[in-house]
Structure 1
Amino acid sequence: MADTTFQKLAFVASQKPDAQSALKTLTERYGNVDAATADAIIALGGDGFMLETLRRHTTLVQRGLPVYGMNRGTVGFLMNAYSEESLLERLSAAEKTTVRPLKMMVEAKGGRFEDLAFNEISLFRQTQQAAHISVTVDGHERLEKLIADGILVATPAGSTAYNLSAHGPVVPLGSRILALTPISAFRPRRWRGALLNANATVEFKVLDPLRRPVSVSADNQEIRNVTYVKVHEDRGKKLNLLFDADHGLDEKILREQFST
């Protein structure tokens, strides 16, 4: 008997020409339904578009609707290889990876805000002046003053993104660990970051917000002129990404650790 798990597909695509061309081709071949009635969302683009898709359909994805990405962008770490052939078979054989987002609570010049991030939450200096930030983990101040361009907290899924570019560690998905990584730290000069339990709560206080203003980004959503940021894993939300059996996210992360 044929597998009927994935029959109704919702295709979404970035505005890049390759993604729009793929959207047209795949829609003609497999049809295209509204995400609310779909068995899976098929995201066509790069990693940035995958994050945009998860944000746009957060409610549906939280209810268990899986997302399968195909790379029509640049990096595509969160995406599978693009192919027009045997898509239903690939979906049926795909491995599910569950990811949990980070939640941030922010106090800023414009008020109080909350947001989610699937890759990382990053604090950045807004001017040429280095940021001065204190770092507290689970109620204990660990750094009285970090002088740096910024600092980030990355999920395992996001550890190979900006975190890796900032010389942070690659974190295996099953490790239940978050990466805390400085961005171009000046003081303490030898501090290279920390690995935290996924249950940890991290608090950042901007020490001189008027002279040394700082912004915070949850993936690509930015809030400027912040004074305080609290970050923790949102255990009440989990999202299911689908990966081809021989290109799962765990395998991608493992390969990245041995890349030269």
Structure 2
Amino acid sequence: MNRSAFVTRVTFVASTRPEAQESRERLAARYGDAGVDDAQVIVALGGDGFMLETVHALMGQGKPIYGMNRGSVGFLMNEFADDDLLGRINAAEQAVIHPLRMNAVDVGGQSHEAIAFNEVSLLRTTRQAAKLRISIDGKVRMPELICDGALLSTPMGSTAYNLSAHGPIIPMDSQILALTPISAFRPRRWRGALLSHQARIRLEVLEGAKRPVSAVADNFEAPNVLEVYIAEDRNVQVCMLFDAGRSLGERVLAEQFSV
């Protein structure tokens, strides 16, 4: 966003939750709704899941997105308030996010492509554990990982599913990706790896017919995959806005000291 351009035109999008819809109507009546095409900033009202939906749906607009929490957790959202919205937006700090791009090939040879701002996950879909082979930049680093799955996380996504799977929290400016196993059985003590954001990751599903695996990129799922290629896509970016003093980098850092 051009910081020299004072924001006066916004548009509002909201999740289906009643409080989000009611807030959208009230804010639009107070500040006006310029529509997506004419707005300088998109204001998203909902929770973290809705923020990710908004980012995917409207990233082609090339406009900053400012979220306000009308959901539950709201880690990616600013606190909700009716007053001084334009002032908050104009004082906000930017976070420029580059997603992961996933290319997955299923058992039928069909390719599936999607992007993920949080993480790409491989997940077993039956009672049997998955078997995965991990290659980084063309070199096999782990011939066989027996597990419930594995995920590759961006810094923004490192506080989400990655953290629940006991992966590390990554500072926003670190240019690092986290590769984290999900309930690893063998090798039991492997806790994952930190990779350069320039790394090219290949995950192969071993015994895919017997041990089927799905690949999930944020809200997109490809079933019965055999190979998954993942790399950061620097050609795609989204600008998210956070209240002054509550930047995304500050939130990720603070999460490491939460108890």
After TM superposition, is the score higher than 0.5? yes
Shift of 1:4: 6.1
2:96 counterpart of 1:98: yes
The amino acid of 2:38's aligned partner reads T
Unaligned runs of 5+ in 1: none
Matched residue, 2:122: 123
Matched residue, 1:39: 40
Shift of 1:113: 1.2
Shift of 1:35: 1.1
Q: Deviations over 1:114-169 (max 9, x none)?
A: 10000000000000100000000111111101100000000001100000000000
Secondary structure of the structure 2 residue equivalent to 1:92: helix
CA distance in 1, matches of 2:138, 2:36: 41
Matched residue, 1:248: 247
Matched residue, 1:140: 139
The amino acid of 2:26's aligned partner reads T
CA distance in 1, matches of 2:194, 2:244: 29
Matched residue, 2:219: 220
The amino acid of 1:7's aligned partner reads T
CA distance in 2, matches of 1:194, 1:250: 21
Matched residue, 1:84: 82
Select between 72-81 and 102-111 the one with higher mean Cα deviation: 102-111
CA distance in 1, matches of 2:141, 2:68: 41
Q: Deviations over 1:153-192 (max 9, x none)?
A: 0000110000000000000000000010000100110000
Matched residue, 1:24: 25
Q: Segments of 4+ in structure 1 off by > 2 A?
A: none
2:125 counterpart of 1:108: no
Shift of 1:5: 1.8
Alignment map for 1:62-211 (pairs within 5 Å): 65-109=63-107, 111-211=110-210
How many equivalent pairs are there? 255
Shift of 1:109: 3.3
Q: TM-score, normalised by structure 1?
A: 0.96
Matched residue, 1:60: 61
Secondary structure of the structure 2 residue equivalent to 1:186: coil
CA distance in 1, matches of 2:107, 2:145: 21
Q: RMSD of the TM alignment (CA)?
A: 1.0
Shift of 1:33: 2.2
Unaligned runs of 5+ in 2: none
Secondary structure of the structure 2 residue equivalent to 1:245: coil
Q: Deviations over 1:78-122 (max 9, x none)?
A: 110000100000001000111100000110135111100000000
